[in-house]
Structure 1
Amino acid sequence: MSKRIDVDDLNVYYSKFLAVEGVSITIEPRSVTAFIGPSGCGKTTFLRTINRMHEVLPGAHVQGKMLLDGDDIYAAGVDPVTVRSQVGMVFQRPNPFPTMSIRDNVLAGVKLNGKRLGKRAEEEIVETSLRGANLWNEVKDRLDKPGSGLSGGQQQRLCIARTIAVQPDVILMDEPCSALDPISTLAVEDLINELKEKYTVVIVTHNMQQAARVSDKTAFFNIAGTGKPGKLIEYNDTKTIFNNPSVKATEDYVSGRFG
C-alpha cells in the first residue's frame, strides 16, 4: 500500500471552462500533503482529479499526466472505478449510509467492488478497519446499530474505516474536520498521523493550524480573479511554507492577510 503521485502540467476542465491550470507536483508515499488556499482556487477540484471523482460532472476532463507509481490513471482503457478503489475519498461531511449498520457501512465498499467473503473474513475486515480508524473500542458492542446513530466525529471515523476497508493506496480527504467539534477534530488529526504509516494521505483544509499540525508538505493554491483558473503557487515542506515561503502571496495567506 501507499503510492507515489506524479502530476505533470495538469489542466482540469469543466466542459470548456478551465478550472485548474498547469499543476505539476510530486506527492511522496507514506506522507501527508495539505492543499491550502482561498475558496474557489481549485484545490478541491484538483484533489478530485486524483481519483477521477470530478468526472461525475458531465463534460469534466483533464489534459496532462497523473501517474500513480508510474501508471497513468487517465490512460486509454483505465477504468475510473478501479482508480477509485486504489484512491479512496473521505468527504467534508460524514456520510455513513443511514439505513446500514456500523458493520455494513464498513463493508459497503468491499461488497460494491464485487468481493464475496465468508462471515469470518467479513468480521476480520470490520475489526481491522475500525481499529485502523481508532473506532473499534467505541463501537465493538453495537456493530448492528445504525451508523447514523454515532456522533459526528465517530461518523467521520466510520467513513474513514469504510475507505480503508477496500485497502486503497491513497486516501484523499476534503476538509474532513470542517463539520466537527474541536475534540472530534483532534481525534481525526491523530488518526491522520497514524494513517500515513501505511497510506499516502492528501488533505484539503482551510484550517492553517491543522495544515501545520498534520502535514509533511503543503501546497498553496490561488486564483487571480473570478472566472480565472486556479493555480498551484508554491509547494514545499510545511515548515518552510509557514515560516519562510518564497512567494509573497503564500506569506500573505498563511499569515492571515488575505483569504
Structure 2
Amino acid sequence: MSKRVDAVDLNVYYGDFLAVEGINISIDARAVTAFIGPSGCGKTTFLRSLNRMHEVLPGARVKGQLLLDGEDIYDPGVDPVTVRTQVGMVFQRPNPFPTMTIRENVLAGYKLNGARLSKSESEEIVETSLRSANLWNEVKDRLDRPGSGLSGGQQQRLCIARTIAVKPDVILMDEPCSALDPISTLAIEDLIGELQQDYTVIIVTHNMQQAARVSQKTAFFNIAGTGKPGKLIEYDDTTSIFNTPKEKSTEDYVSGRFG
C-alpha cells in the first residue's frame, strides 16, 4: 500500500470551462500533504481529479497526466472504478449509508464490487478496519446497529474505516473535520497521523492550524479572479510554507491578510 502521486501539466475542465490549470506536483508516498487556499481556487476540483471523482459531472475531463507510481490513471484502458478502489475518498460531511449497519458500512466496498467473503473474512476486515480508524472499542458491541446512529465524529471515522477496508493506496480527504466539534477534530487529526504510516494521505483544509499540525508538505492554490482557473502557486515542506514562503500571495494567505 501507499503510492506516489504525480501530476504533469494537468488541466481540469468542466465542459469548456478551465477550472484548474497547469498543475505540476509530486506527492510523496507515506506522508500527509495538505492543499490550502481560498474558496473557489480549484483545490477540491484537483483533489477529485486524483481518483476521477470529478467525472461524475457531465462534461468534466482532464488534459495532461496523473500518475500513480508512474501509471497514468487517465490512460484509455484504465477503469475509473478500479482507480477509485486504489484512491479512496473521505468527504466533507460524514456519509455512512443510512440503511446499513456499522458492519455493512465497513464492508460496502466489497459488496458494491460483487466480492464474496466468508464470515471469518468479513469479521476480520470489519475489526481490522475499525481498529485502524480508532473506532473498534466504541462500536464493537453494536456492529449490527445503523451507522447513522453514531455521533458525527464517529460517523466520519466509520467512513474512514469504510475507505481503508478495501486497502487503497491513497486516501483523499476533503475538509474531513469541517462539520465536527473540536474533540472529534482532534481524534481525526490523530488518526491522520497514524494513517500516514501505511497510506499516502492528501487533505484539503481551510484550517491553517490543522494543515500545520497534520501535514509534512503543503500546496497553496490561488485564483486570479472570478472566471479564472485555479493554479498551484507554491508547494514545499509545511514548515517552509508557513514560516518562509517564497511567494508573496502565499505569505499573505497563511498570515491571514486575505482568504
| TM interval, short-chain normalised | over 0.9
Show CA shifts across 1:58-116 (max 9, x none): 00000000000010000111100000000000000000011110000000012112210
Q: Which amino acid aligns with 1:84?
A: R
TM normalised by structure 2 equals 1.00
Measured in 2, the distance between the counterparts of 1:2 and 1:153 equals 25
Measured in 2, the distance between the counterparts of 1:236 and 1:122 equals 41
2:117 corresponds to: 117
Measured in 1, the distance between the counterparts of 2:198 and 2:109 equals 19
1:7 matched to 2:32? The reply is no
Structure 2 counterpart SS, 1:46:
helix
Aligned counterparts, 1:122-133, within 5 A: 122-133=122-133
1:73 matched to 2:82? The reply is no
2:206 corresponds to: 206
Measured in 2, the distance between the counterparts of 1:165 and 1:36 equals 28
Structure 1 counterpart SS, 2:249:
helix
1:105 corresponds to: 105
1:252 corresponds to: 252
Q: How many residues align?
A: 259
Measured in 2, the distance between the counterparts of 1:6 and 1:44 equals 17
Q: Which amino acid aligns with 2:4?
A: R
1:239 corresponds to: 239
Measured in 2, the distance between the counterparts of 1:8 and 1:78 equals 18
Aligned counterparts, 1:25-104, within 5 A: 25-104=25-104
Identity of aligned residues (%): 82
Measured in 1, the distance between the counterparts of 2:172 and 2:85 equals 12
Measured in 1, the distance between the counterparts of 2:102 and 2:75 equals 37
Deviation at 1:228, TM superposition (A): 0.1
Measured in 2, the distance between the counterparts of 1:214 and 1:78 equals 32
Q: CA RMSD in A?
A: 0.4
Show CA shifts across 1:113-148 (max 9, x none): 221000010000000000000000000000001000
TM normalised by structure 1 equals 1.00
2:180 corresponds to: 180
Deviation at 1:56, TM superposition (A): 0.2
Aligned counterparts, 1:134-149, within 5 A: 134-149=134-149
Runs of at least 5 residues in structure 2 that lack an aligned partner in the other structure: none
